[in-house]
Amino acid sequence: MSSTKPASSTTGDPLLLTPGPLTTSRSVKEAMVHDWGSRDARFIAINRAVLETLPRVILGEGAFVAVPMQGSGTFAIEAMLTSFVPRDGKALVLVNGAYGRRARTILDIAGRASVVYETTEDVPPEPGEIDAMLAADAAITHVFIVHCETTSGIRNPVEAVAAVVERHGRRLLIDAMSAFGALELDAREVAFDAVAASSNKCLQGVPGLGFVLARKSALEATKGNATTLTLDLFDQHQALSSSGQYRFTPPIHVIAALHQALEEFWAEGGTAGRGRRYAENARILIQGMGRLGFRTLLPETLQAPIIVTFRTPEHERFVFQRFYDALRDRGFVIYPGKLTVADTFRVGCIGELHAADMAAFVAAVKDTLLEMGAGLRTAA
């Protein structure tokens, strides 16, 4: 055990250096200390404010509406895919990790035709390849891409892919779950019909609400597409815009927390400000871990400042479970890897984490290596 006090959040909990749920601010947690009914005027006003502000994150005011979906992020992804891809449609799914694969599974279960263009987890899709696939298959109506594939932390080329998809007159659907609010996505420049994200990643709310920002004209055209009652985005939007009410119990505490989280997001400078803090977190992490001898999976050019995948060192005394537990004792929760290309672990840069937290994490890793007798390389 280290002699210094373990790191902790404002509530004494360990810091979550994970892909989510994440460490939130104290004020976000405090926003939940209420018992409001779903018809309470304060809740309705808060919900309306949340839905009105979300399109601003992608500079999509006027053209896009936010349709919330109760549940974790995957519920919003499933709602987006099954509402937007019609029964006689066909999706091209770009896969380089678990979230791309999950989209394929959703389409299979919903009985939607799809084809996959898969690259390995450390390789982004090639726009030229997509161009050829769309040219060769006129039946493809939609393309699905993950903005930051959290499996590895890779940044996929959404802008270049969107240009190809638009040129072919097809529609783009984006899973921006782990990137939304940290990586710019400008709806005035990038052509897409819908983007899905959630309350608990870079917006720094608590888990429990997903949402889809939908181009209004495209959402109108989804009427009758849904294969489930609960995940019907068209119906959800109709109910909310006509009565201000959710069709089914809303997670009011989650929405109240998201309202507060969005105030903090804008106060930090929106996507630009938050993205800057995360980029600084990632820089401190990668440089510090590099000095200790750890190597990242991805080259800097492909690395999003969201979550960093490190190769598990080959040192005989390095045992991941011991490393994980020792860091947990020092107040830091990291995440195992789930790659097929290499043995790895992941460290997140997102959530209410600041430069000092990342520096403290690197110091804790150094202590842990010494304790394990697994010093990888003397510091440069």
Ligand X SMILES: *Cc1c(COP(=O)(O)O)cnc(C)c1O
Residues 6+ apart with CB under 8 A from 234: 83, 219, 220, 222, 223, 224, 225, 226
Q: Which two tokens stand for residue 282?
A: 């990632």
Q: Reduced to 3 states, what is the DSSP secondary structure of residue 230?
A: coil
Counting every residue written for the chain, the total comes to: 380
Residue nearest to ligand X (CB): 73
Question: Minimum Å distance from CB 19 to ligand X?
Answer: 5
Pick 74 or 222: Cβ nearer ligand X: 74
Structure tokens at 309: 């995948």
The CB-of-202 to ligand X minimum distance in angstroms stands at: 10
Footprint of ligand X on this chain (CB under 6 A)?
19-20, 72-74, 77, 99, 146, 150, 175, 177-178, 198
Smaller CB distance to ligand X: residue 288 or 348? Answer: 348
Q: How far is the CB of 70 from ligand X (least distance, A)?
A: 12
In whole angstroms, the minimum distance from the beta carbon of 6 to ligand X comes to 26
Q: Residue 344's beta-bridge partner residues?
A: 311
Nearer to ligand X among residue 77 and residue 365 (C-beta): 77
Q: Which is nearer to ligand X, 141 or 178 (CB)?
A: 178
Rg (CA), the chain: 21
Rounded distance between C-alpha atoms, residue 121 and residue 303, angstroms: 12
Comparing CB distances to ligand X, the nearer of 72 and 82 is 72
346 among the known binding-site residues? yes
- Choice between 208 and 313, CB closer to ligand X: 208
DSSP 26-92: HHHHHTT-----TT-HHHHHHHHHHHHHHHHHTT-TTTEEEEEEESSHHHHHHHHHHHHS-TT-EEE
Give least dist CB 201 to ligand X, A. 6
Neighbours of 273 (CB within 10 A): 13
CB of 74 to ligand X, least distance (A): 3
Q: Which is nearer to ligand X, 99 or 345 (CB)?
A: 99
Q: Which is nearer to ligand X, 24 or 368 (CB)?
A: 24
- Distance in angstroms between the alpha carbons of the first and the last residue of the chain: 26
> Cα separation of 241 and 193, whole Å?
19
Give least dist CB 307 to ligand X, A.
Answer: 8
Q: Which is nearer to ligand X, 73 or 250 (CB)?
A: 73
For the chain, the 3-state helix, strand and coil shares in percent, each to the nearest 5, are: 40, 15, 45
Burial annotation 159-193 (CB, 10 A radius, 16+ → b, else e): ebbbbbbeeeebbbbbbbbbbbbbbbbebeebbbb
Q: How far is CA 70 from CA 35, 176, 202, 210, in A?
A: 18, 17, 18, 6
Query: Residue 278 Cβ, how far from ligand X at the closest point, in Å?
Result: 14
Single-letter code of the amino acid located at 275: G
Shortest Å distance, C-beta 69 to ligand X: 11
Alpha helix ranges (H) inside the chain: 26-30, 41-57, 73-84, 98-109, 127-136, 158-167, 216-220, 233-243, 252-267, 270-291, 320-329, 355-372
Residue stretches of the annotated binding site for substrate: 346
Q: Which residues are annotated as a binding site?
A: 346
